[in-house]
Structure 1
Amino acid sequence: MLRWGESRPLELGARMAIKKRVDAELRAETPEKLFPLLRRTGNNSDTLWPQQVDLLREYAAKRVSAKDLAIELPTGTGKTLTGLLIADWRRREGKGRSVFVCPTVQLVRQVVAAADKEGIAVVDLSGPHTMWDPAAKAEYERGRATAVVPYSSIFNVSPKLIDADVLVFDDAHAGEQYVSKAYTVSVSRHSHPAIYSGALEAIAPKLSKERYHQLIQNNPGAGSRELVDSLALAQVDDLLPGLTRALGLFAAEPQSDKVARSAKFAHVAIGGHLGACTLYVSWSKIEVRPVTPPSFENPLFASANQRIYLSATLGTSGELERAFGRPAIRRLHRPANAPSPTSGRRFLVFPHLIPDVDPTQFTRELIATVGKSIIIVPSDREADVAGDTIVPETWTVFRKNDVEDSLDDFAQSTKSVALLANRYDGIDLPGEACRSVTIAGYPGVTNLQERFYASRARSAVVSAERVRSRVVQGIGRCTRGPRDWSVVIVADRETTTYLSRDEVRKTLSADLQSEIEFGLDQSEQSADDVRENIAMFLEQGEDWRDNAETELTKIRASAQQVEPAAAPGLAAAARHEVESLEAMWNGDWRAASEKLHLAATELNSHPIARGYQAVLLFRAAVAMDKSAREAVDAEQGAAADALAAQAVEAAKPATWMTAFLPFAGREIPEPSSMLRSAAQRLSIVVDTVGSAAKLKLSFATMFEGLSQIDHKAYEPALTQLGKFLGADAFKPSGDARTDSAWCWDNEQWITLEAKSEHKTDGVIGVHDTQQVNGHLELVAEDRGVPIPSASAAVMVSPRTVVKREAIVVAGDNSWRLTPADILALATDTERLWEGLQLLRNIKAPEERVGGIADLLRQHLLRPEDIIDRVTTTRIGEV
């Protein structure tokens, strides 16, 4: 035995301990030609699919040098192998290191297993960098294997991977939530109340007194809870130090607090650039983030020679560019005449459309009939609700942590559900692993920016691509290959209405269009008929093939996929939006404003995107005002005011930005004629309401009426609410008239059709919608004047499911509210009157008008604000 420092005698003929070089790997002219050269494992795919061959040939011919490249392949048609082949080919060609990026650790494991099966050299570098296998890390760094990592390994304050030639992002359509997380400081009122309070106090000077009051309440109304304000931090230089101090408190939280650690690192990532960020504030959460990610600052991401984005649903509205912060991403298309690959058969069932059943109980029954289901919900809170309501009793429930590394345990189980929040992507359960997907909750918003766009800013069009992708991906979790089949249960009202909309279905593939329309048709039958159809589908026998498949083929033959509305304009605007963020990051505010104005201009011919155009114009105005203040330039200040005026006009009827206008140093504009009229009317009402006790009784009577189902009590209460808001409110006489009309002279009218007797578990039908359509015309006939442009016909109903036919006949100016929305408006009105009552001390009514107008403005209850509140959801929209 040799001791340290001793030498071994040289023996002639002995085997030498020489490390020999590994033989050079085989190389190929193209990624396609590399496939047959891969190491044989006994589990390799026999051949590439036609769609894979088409895209690999297109890549080799035209896109090897593209900096940013997107590749689209439908779910289950081989996009992962396509991306792995490109990464491995570039690595073997000596172009540099290659990285394959997945949304989750579970997907990292899945991709590593798939690569091993195909004989592609990969290493798993997921988890904390301190836990990486040194040998695996060395294999990546020496260019001998592709590293497979989660998104968080790329998008963080200090990526630990050394630079790469190519980054391949799998499931790029879901990338926004993973990329933006690295730059979003999220402050939860529940988990970090002191930090939430500190951040709120820092921005309080920019909030109205009433809005601040709502945000500090321990138990506000539902309307106040859901409301989101957007504050461009470039407007509030003087408030940034206080906000920075508040967000800095995350650094003092325990290391074990994962949420705080994530927020701390995000704060570091945007530190020094808060002015280029936007703050979104709601009662439950505050988020501070740049509108698009500053990925140009990420050394690993920015230095790659090529970034490839793999997606099942790329979209055409520029959402991929916004999600990754890239000005332009080239698309790799299959040949125009290539057949579309298929990915299995789905039978969609809509319990909320089935007559005379409890949708919740029927959903639970369907899950039990199939024997297993994956249940996808938008949030943890909704996961808890689903677990209590639609999971069969005694069944095993797998939650997020149970499937974080692998789905194998769930796949092998019986009488079980996988109950997962916001996991519309990256779950593969083919064949017998699972035959049922349940969509329980509309995946419309996943963060405050999306919620602001969808509600206050009327800009849902810019997020429509993401929503569509989540729904499509969720539906396809159990149909990964052409021979797979599964039941899809659409278990919530909002997604049912969403998929009932013709303009939504037309943007989907012909296969999915036919499956949804077939499902909608079948779900309008009796419960027994639906049960019989489910049994027939599960048998997959001749009855299904001879009857259902024949019908599906007929529907598919007439289906044509169309580009979403405004997609060309949104795609063109995306480049300017991304470039504007980089200009802000570098302190060039005038250039940022000009870029944002260019983005807004791209939407001129797309009226459906008018709300988002207003957002862009307002941001352009804020950036120009910031530039004007820094340069002390009156001309730029005037330009900022002009942009703000354009934004206000484009936003109508939305009024969200008026709380942040005019800019500092400008005079507050005179009240509009409509606001003065409302104030004058209320000035008279103030004299008639009597004492505080009498006013309290009047409101109690109104609230009592608004809580009733009986229309005889509900309708007078609606009219009283209109009067308390300064409208000329009345119930017109005659047939087919509205239940309550609110008129602010002849400048703005609102008609309200009270469907208070509707039961929640029902559908809004054609007759309901037609009633609403004609109400404004009848008011115009009674008053002998045209309908004012600022008017709305509104249905008040607890129902949120709308029949397809009702969506078709709904007028362009027909909207819907729930009774809860009306109660929230009434609650805010009562708060307004606490202030109005004090003005009784001013004896002359005309002298109260200015004060009343100010109170209406502070409480966001001007006539302009009322029309904004009642027109957020069209009949037939979610």
Structure 2
Amino acid sequence: MAIKKRSDTQLRAETPEKLFPLLRKTGENSDTLWPQQVDLLREYAEKRVGARDLAIELPTGTGKTLTGLLIADWRRREGKGRAIFVCPTKQLVRQVVAAAEKEGIDVVDLSGSWKQWDPSAQSKYERAKATAVVPYSSIFNTSPKLIEADIIVFDDAHAGEQYVSKAYTVEIPRHLYGSIWSEALEAVAPMLPQERYQQLIGNTPGAGTRELVDGLVLAQRDDALPGLARALGAFARVDRSDRFAAAQKFAFDAIGGHLAACTLYVSWSKIEARPVTPPTFENSLFASATQRVYLSATLGTSGELERAFGRPSVARLHRPEGAPTPTSGRRFLVFPHLVPNADPDKLTKELIKSVGKSIVITPSEKEAENASTTIVPKNWTVFRKSDVEDSLDDFAASTKSVALLANRYDGIDLPGKACRSVTMAGYPGVTNLQERFYASRARAAAVSAERVRSRVVQGIGRCTRGPRDWALVIVADKETTTYLSREEMRATLSPDLQSEIEFGLDQSDTSLDDVRENVAMFLEQGKQWRSDPEEELARIRAAAVQHEPAEAPGLAEAAKHEVEAMERMWNADWKAASEKLHLAATALTSYPAVRGYQATLLFRAAVTIDKAARDANDEELAVRADALAAQAVDAAKPATWMAAFLPFQGRQALAPSAQLLSAASRLSTYIDGVGSPAKLKTAFENMLDGLSQIDHKAYEPALTQLGLFLGAHAFKPKGNSRTDSAWCWDETQWISVEAKSEHKIDGVIGVTDTLQVNGHLALVAEDRAVAVPEISAAVMVTPRTLVHKDAIAVAGGDSYRVTPDDIRALATDTERLWEGLQLLRNIKVASERTDGVVKLLDQHRLRPEDVLDRLTVTRIGEV
């Protein structure tokens, strides 16, 4: 080419917005910027050019990627330095590169191994002649090969936590690395109750044992760290061809010198070691950038972005008040589990066939495998994650196919005719052990709620990227159906999505023929759909109002202190870390919904100040640690997980609670009445058999027997509408247990059953002529996990649900307790026997408060 080119210095502009029309013409450029892009770019130029950390929210399909590329390219052209644009996956890197090239924005693809980078492309980035487009893993690793940049733009930042935390998390799956798992467990065994340790080393765990997660704050025991470091370091000795092991080696390199600042999450199937928030201040490439921009389709207000990226404060860039909200297509949601007399799996399969293609998104590979056999039409082509890693083009061009993707709620763009159906198969409530610990043991799910909400919203929108797109969304599992049925959760969503979900819930609670007719009408996209359905959707949308969660301001304030506390812990400034954690906990004082998370923060504050006390041999700090621990225990109720880690080393044991003394007193007497070991064995066999029955005539007496074995005054109250079994530890703690053992697993928990459970404690109080103790709960035992939206609305705050498996697991643990209790019959001194009972109940974690903890994990109206 003989064309003589000038230097590109003239391609500079006063603002990113003004740069857009100056970009090189490619024949495929966008005609103009959308109003929402213009609004945000102007706001950026006027107020946010100097922000170190800045979040920009634009709904899916409304131009956030181009907005981020323009900001990066403008700063680069202004001579501020190098620019990096970061994507979740390699496939998205290629997609962004293609989009940038269409707009005439100079970018280079630096994905993959740094050893295979095109030297010319690398040089363009390093000379600030082009923006580098890379995956998250190129930034967050122990030795980033990109040289420092002025600006780093993170696309899909709402999903960033999983990519950032991965660089600082050592995972030990038991089935793959059993010896490393065992070595790690042995290192921390002194931190665990003996009974829990025995559960973990067993080879045939029950469902409860397999799912249970312990959170060990490693600053609590200095003596555990050397052995744990040796165990985690063993990944360095695994064959180098093992890519997973290599990733764990690199993660250990990142955290190995700071294990005391980490938490070890221990479950039967996996162990994870990680800091609670990522220490990104250690990453020179990330920390040295002049500006970090976080692009998000669902930017929350609860501090999730700060926790995900380890930044104490992230400024927000909002569209002007009153600006119209951009839309992203139409979704028709169908909930097969709500359709009366329909087989949900068969209906899901039928709906997928009616569209001809679907993305099927699951939370895990295990659930993806299950979906492949239950809801994927026979003889259809199945695209797995590896098949679409580089491109979605083959799937987009295919027919009679599904893309079966585990934990891929982001990074999939299939607009227009590429795909008209999304199937959500599995509730994405937890994707790692920290989230599971928060959700179950710590009653702190609220801190992850923003992340869960983002996964669901993003999953629903995978095939509606633009305003003219439309797609059928099939919610194929009971838990996600219950989640979307909760009015307080829906209220946090955009009015458009609120209306689509409410419309879908209403239309699914009808006959199977009506559902089929409505789906056919939607897929036809003719005049019939444009009339009544769209009019109804418009009416629902007009009444919808979006609210942030009530606890969001507290969580956002706490996030700043949490991130700052991690930096203090990383630098072994334990006293300062404790002060920051206490500030974080204090920020949550006015928000009851996050009391469990507040208790977790208080406990960490207690552990870190205790660590400072040990290091300095400071008695005053030790007293402060005990006081914080006491606050944590109180705030955690009814959760009791931290009792296993108290008192701190060298301290006196806490006095037994009133309900524990009640149970111990009753069991001390009951021991003499159970008869011989053979009779006791028969009694347990009969009880366990009864708890395995569906017939209420066998189940209910077995429930009462279980209560007796746990030291309660257990009985079936007389009269109408009473609970099936009441467990009363005097007037200190009550549990009413309603057995819905005859429920069919595929049914729905309805209003009648819920209202019945709500009133049980009051009826027990009426019969006993006393007030209901403050520490009490009404429990429904049912195999069902799907709750009708009207039942959710009327469910009481002290009404919970458990499965028959949960009750059987409790009974099995109680049987092990009695192996020790029956040996106490030879102790004749009453006080000594009672002390022995107290000790055994504590060792087996079957104190009345532990029983309450186990039976109150899930409220009737929650997932």
Q: Structure 2 length as normaliser, TM-score?
A: 0.99
1:600 is aligned to 2:585: yes
My pick for the range that moved more, 309-318 or 686-695, is 686-695
Amino acid paired to 2:668: S
Alignment of 1:344-359 (within 5 A): 344-359=329-344
Structure 2 partner of 1:95:
80
For residue 620 of structure 1, the aligned residue among 605, 616, 620 is 605
Kindly indicate whether residue 506 of structure 2 is the aligned counterpart of residue 521 of structure 1: yes
Q: How far did 1:699 drift?
A: 1.0
1:227-376 aligned at under 5 Å gives the runs: 227-376=212-361
Give the letter for the 2:409 counterpart.
Answer: Y
1:606 and 1:25 mapped to 2: Cα distance?
A: 55
Distance of 2:515 and 2:305 partners within structure 1: 39
Q: Where does residue 644 of structure 1 map in the other structure?
A: 629
Deviation at residue 558 of structure 1 after TM alignment: 0.3
1:55-204 alignment to 2 at 5 Å? 55-204=40-189
| SS in structure 2 at match of 1:405 | coil
Give the corresponding residue for 1:406: 391
Q: Does the 8 Å CA contact 1:87/1:146 hold for their aligned counterparts?
A: yes
Report the RMSD for the aligned CA atoms in angstroms.
1.2
Whole-angstrom distance in 1 between the partners of 2:829 and 2:572: 53
Q: Give the drift of 1:840.
A: 2.5
**Cα deviation, residue 305, structure 1:** 0.3
- Give CA-to-partner distance per residue, 1:587-628, whole Å, 9 cap, x none: 111110101111111111111111110011111111111111
Alpha-carbon separation, structure 2, partners of 1:702 and 1:399: 46
SS in 1 for 2:9: coil
Q: In structure 1, which of residues 467, 472, 475 is the aligned counterpart of residue 457 of structure 2?
A: 472
Corresponding position of 2:565: 580
User: For 1:200, what is the secondary structure of its paired residue?
Assistant: helix
In structure 2, the CA distance between the partners of 1:479 and 1:20, relative to structure 1 (3 Å rule), is closer
Report the residue type matching 2:277 in the other structure. T
Deviation at 1:128, TM superposition (A): 0.7
Match of 1:449 among 434, 437, 441: 434
Match of 1:655 in 2: 640
- Using the TM superposition, give the Cα deviation of residue 25 of structure 1 relative to its aligned residue in structure 2, in angstroms: 5.4
Q: Secondary structure at the match of 1:823?
A: helix
1:425: which partner in 2?
410
> What is residue 492 of structure 1 aligned with on the other side?
477
Determine the structure 1 residue equivalent to 2:838: 853
Which digits, 9 at most, give the CA deviation of each residue in 1:127-146, with x for residues without a partner?
11101111110110011100
Give the AA of the match of 2:70: L
SS in structure 2 at match of 1:763: coil
Superposition TM-score, scaled by structure 1 size: 0.97
**Counterpart-to-counterpart distance in 2, 1:511 and 1:228:** 37
2:662 equivalent to 1:693: no
> What does the per-residue CA deviation read over 1:98-146, in whole Å, with 9 as the maximum and x for residues that have no partner?
0000011111111111111111111000011101111110110011100
Structure 1 CA distance for aligned equivalents of residues 217 and 832 of structure 2: 36
Whether the 8 Å CA contact 1:325–1:578 is kept in 2: the answer is yes
SS in 2 for 1:346: strand
| Alpha-carbon distance between aligned partners in 1 of 2:366 and 2:794, rounded to the nearest angstrom | 35
Aligned residues: 862
In the alignment, the residues of structure 2 paired with residue 763 and residue 387 of structure 1 have an alpha-carbon distance, to the nearest angstrom, of 25
**CA distance in 1: counterparts of 2:240 and 2:781, whole angstroms:** 49
- 1:867 aligns with 852
The answer (yes or no) to whether the contact 1:188–1:196 under 8 Å persists in 2 is yes
Partner in structure 1 of residue 202 of structure 2 = 217
Partners of 2:599 and 2:459 in 1: CA distance: 32
The CA deviation string for residues 799-826 of structure 1, in whole angstroms up to 9 with x for no partner, is 1111111111111111111111111111
Question: Counterpart of 1:764 in 2: which secondary structure?
Answer: coil
Deviates more, 1:667-676 or 1:256-265: 667-676
Give CA-to-partner distance per residue, 1:511-547, whole Å, 9 cap, x none: 0000000000000000100000000000000110111
CA contact (8 A) 1:593 1:619 kept: yes
Taking the aligned partners of 2:399 and 2:141, their CA distance within structure 1 comes to 39
In the alignment, structure 1 residue 682 sits paired with structure 2 residue 682: no
Query: One-letter code of the match for 2:18?
Result: K
- Amino acid aligned to 1:182: A
Match of 2:576 among 591, 608, 613: 591
Listed one character per residue, the Cα deviations across residues 807-857 of structure 1 (whole Å, up to 9, x for unaligned) are: 111111111111111111111111111111222232455432111111110
The one-letter code sitting in structure 1 at the alignment partner of 2:855 is V
* Match 1:536 to one of 521, 525, 540: 521
Q: Match of 2:809?
A: 824
Amino acid at match of 2:795: A
Deviation, 1:24, is 3.3
Q: How does 1:789-828 map to 2 (within 5 A)?
A: 789-828=774-813
- Say which of 550, 555, 562 aligns to 1:570: 555
Does the CA-based 8 Å contact 1:27-1:89 persist in structure 2?
A: yes
Aligned residue runs from structure 1 range 741-752, under 5 A = 741-752=726-737
Residues 680 and 846 in structure 1, CA contact (< 8 A), matched pair in contact too: no
Give the corresponding residue for 1:388: 373
Q: How far did 1:631 drift?
A: 1.2
Which runs of no fewer than 5 residues in structure 1 stay unpaired? 1-14
8 Å Cα contact 1:25-1:92 kept in structure 2 = no
Aligned to 1:4: none
The reply to whether residue 734 of structure 1 matches residue 719 of structure 2 is yes
Query: Secondary structure at 2:134's aligned position in 1?
Result: strand
Q: Using the TM superposition, give the Cα deviation of residue 682 of structure 1 relative to its aligned residue in structure 2, in angstroms.
A: 1.2
Q: Which runs of 5+ in 2 are unaligned?
A: none
Q: 1:720 aligns with which of 696, 705, 718?
A: 705
How much has 1:381 moved relative to structure 2?
A: 0.5
Asked if the contact 1:683–1:846 (Cα under 8 Å) also holds between the matched residues in 2, the reply is: no
Q: How far, CA to CA, are the matches of 2:741 and 2:347 in structure 1?
A: 25
Q: Distance in 1 between matches of 2:7 and 2:264?
A: 54
Three-state SS of the structure 2 residue aligned to 1:230 is: strand
| Cα separation, 2, equivalents of 1:810 and 1:24 | 66
CA distance in structure 2 between the aligned counterparts of 1:835 and 1:266, rounded to whole angstroms: 43
Deviation digits for residues 205-248 of structure 1 (CA, Å, limit 9, x no counterpart): 11111000000011110001100001111001011000001111
Counterpart amino acid of residue 442 in structure 1? Y
Alignment partners' CA distance in 1, 2:680 and 2:95: 66
When structure 1 is superposed on structure 2, of 200-209 and 684-693 the one drifting more is 684-693
**Residues of 2 paired with 1:589 and 1:239: CA distance?**
18
Worse overlay, 661-670 or 244-253: 661-670
